[in-house]
Structure 1
């Protein structure tokens, strides 16, 4: 065998070894179902307002309110679903949530009046809110404490891969057949993916109780006990800021900013968003291995720093007249933000699980999930008016907020439970 071929195989083996998670078969099956489910969501996500406005004749304002109703309903049901998960096992609740979403999203294929769309939005949003928290709890019941980060990473890879591939396929479908039946087929297929996910959970996932939570820091019960955990509340607030300044500003504010203030056009913006998604899919699991060697406070501070750098790096794109250079600059932004997101999810998620007493795991995870909805909503709500008033201030202000959050993480120090510190103490 030639030395170059042997070296190539060794390098390839090292790349694939970074993707080994050591997770059990049920966890892999669960996240495969998640990927299928998110593929269906990706099919409709870019075209929901287009469908309701163009194919159903709703005003764009009404269509926007329908989409808002989905997330609003999901936010309302998320905390009660956490309380429910503290009393009952996650598997049947996840199945019920997915079946509700299947009914709601498939129903969108047949709406011809706004009130019908709002009903479907409420049903689908309620199912999403319940299933999202149940998926997190069920994932944690299937793994050991040491495998939490890897499990969260795999779920994130599955979700991003499903969304990205679904949106890509839908783009080709709508470009080829931009009429009512094509949209209806997409919604029906999306509903079917929720049903497939429910079937996967029913057949392939054991019905285990939630027993892997860390020792309780407070023996109380209910949301009052959660409210007494000041460290958890601080982390929730910090996560809202990170979601706003990282994912939300990048996804919602960067496209209109780039279109107006840089030489980058819509097709180049699509490439930038695609780069962000593909970096998350490729780098998420290997990044987990790197982060395992870092103190959690340092990893969270680094995450905040990456978001601050990424936001400030948007501004040089306004200084060039070349679409190629502008696209390259924003592609760099997409990569930096993606790496920050990889760290954010696999560090904060296990911390929340470690802080949660066994009897409150569902409540902790439901409130943690709620911060993502809040950040996604507040990002455009704050960034939109700021973009209109002072476009550059969006990026300066977002970078400052991210940097201050990073400093706050460093001040928390040893208050954040850290397996690395515990391991070092045990070895002394």
Structure 2
């Protein structure tokens, strides 16, 4: 697959990105590992803590954990409007404050209502923090290097989660509630450096966006979510995000585990190995992938991602051919590793598409819609996966994921690519702009690599 390159054919070096990155962007990247170290401490142990350590039982624990994304989904819409009114920095600092309080509450959650309060606070915070963070990044990082920022941020995020998971696994003991309280309190503390940055060195960025004005100088009518969705390409990008979540992350966090245990008969240790492999591939390959996709059409990068994810789900299906064996464990680790390669293609592209489509005064709503599309799929995917796997329809489950992944790639190239501006699609050429009316014209420059 080929596409126009920007400028000459030389691939950018990491040092070039760091040199071009504004001071504010460097500060934001500097705290990512520490913040997500706290996330990694608690992420693998929510269900164990609530069901076994706090003795709420698995049924109640499942309901409590479901509360978090549900609250986040409800909060995302109003949160996007607040971001556009107050600015992303204020909203993000408030959300991080909620996460600090939520972590403290969960650490002391000896009763169901207290646990629900803590998880509800976390859900509220995550519902507005993600679009606020994306909007803040877009406000300080230039569009031409924004995709590289998102990619490097993703690698650092996974490094933090991976290290946190290792430390947490070595530290916690289900017989000692204090060990779980410590990791939840440590998770709360991990958000404090970001709050200090936002209230201190970054207090001058991400502020209230000046409202647009009409031609006569009067304030323009405020843009709503329906207006945003009517803009060219927006609904298509959000639908793409929903599909990517449905056949991607939602399955990695639920369906893949269910299939591996029920059909592939992989041990819990094997599951841990698969997730470790997933994290390692992201950390090792993200920078390499960033160089390879530089200057390529983002829609075509997503198309390659769809093919890669389809291959990963075929590997998952293969575990069912050799259930309960070491080969099944190896195939699951391969599935998670190949899936991780797809993740390194998606993370620099989809967030960049969303934020390049947005304007400064609507960026909060754009990122909120993106968050809603992902969280909606995350809510409906586990029940669908559970139904198919639980009713002996494992082959149908894998087929749905493979077909869905390929459909994702086809939709990106065959549908979305025709509806967005080449600039939004990552093509910024040095040559003159094509003549009016020649919507698909683009300069043809030397190309190489995977896209």
- CA distance in 1: counterparts of 2:330 and 2:356, whole angstroms: 40
- CA distance in 2: counterparts of 1:226 and 1:321, whole angstroms: 48
Indicate conservation of the 8 Å contact 2:99/2:122, yes or no: yes
- CA distance in 2: counterparts of 1:84 and 1:339, whole angstroms: 35
2:17 aligned to 21, 31, 52, which one? 21
- Indicate the SS of the match to 2:81: helix
1:3 counterpart residue number: none
Indicate conservation of the 8 Å contact 1:303/1:341, yes or no: yes
1:183 maps to 2:189 = no
CA shift in 2, pair 1:49/1:326, >3 Å: closer
1:388 counterpart residue number: 390
The 10-residue stretch of structure 1 (319-328 or 182-191) with the greater mean CA deviation from structure 2: 319-328
User: How many equivalent residue pairs?
Assistant: 412
**Structure 2: where are the runs of 5+ without partners?**
1-9, 213-219, 434-442, 444-451
2:436 counterpart residue number: none
TM-score, normalised via structure 2 length? 0.84
Q: Deviations over 1:337-393 (max 9, x none)?
A: 111111112111111111112211110011112222222222212111011220111
**Structure 1: where are the runs of 5+ without partners?**
1-13
Q: Which structure carries more relative contact order (alpha carbon 8 Å, separation 6+)?
A: 2
Indicate conservation of the 8 Å contact 2:71/2:124, yes or no: yes
CA shift in 2, pair 1:381/1:31, >3 Å: farther
Indicate conservation of the 8 Å contact 2:158/2:279, yes or no: yes
TM-superposed CA distance for 1:195, in Å, is 2.4
CA shift in 2, pair 1:98/1:326, >3 Å: same
1:101 counterpart residue number: 99
Greater fraction helix: 1
1:52 counterpart residue number: 50
Q: How does 1:315-394 map to 2 (within 5 A)?
A: 315-320=317-322, 323-389=325-391, 390-394=393-397
Indicate conservation of the 8 Å contact 2:274/2:333, yes or no: yes
CA shift in 2, pair 1:388/1:362, >3 Å: same
CA shift in 2, pair 1:15/1:414, >3 Å: closer
TM-superposed CA distance for 1:334, in Å, is 1.8
Q: Deviations over 1:112-142 (max 9, x none)?
A: 2111111222222212222222111111111
1:285 counterpart residue number: 287
TM-score, normalised via structure 1 length? 0.88
Indicate conservation of the 8 Å contact 1:101/1:191, yes or no: yes
TM-superposed CA distance for 1:408, in Å, is 1.6
1:418 maps to 2:422 = yes
CA RMSD of aligned residues (A): 2.8
CA shift in 2, pair 1:264/1:53, >3 Å: closer
TM-superposed CA distance for 1:182, in Å, is 0.9
TM-superposed CA distance for 1:230, in Å, is 5.2
Q: How does 1:166-205 map to 2 (within 5 A)?
A: 166-175=164-173, 178-205=175-202
CA shift in 2, pair 1:21/1:105, >3 Å: same
TM-superposed CA distance for 1:394, in Å, is 0.9
- CA distance in 1: counterparts of 2:105 and 2:268, whole angstroms: 31
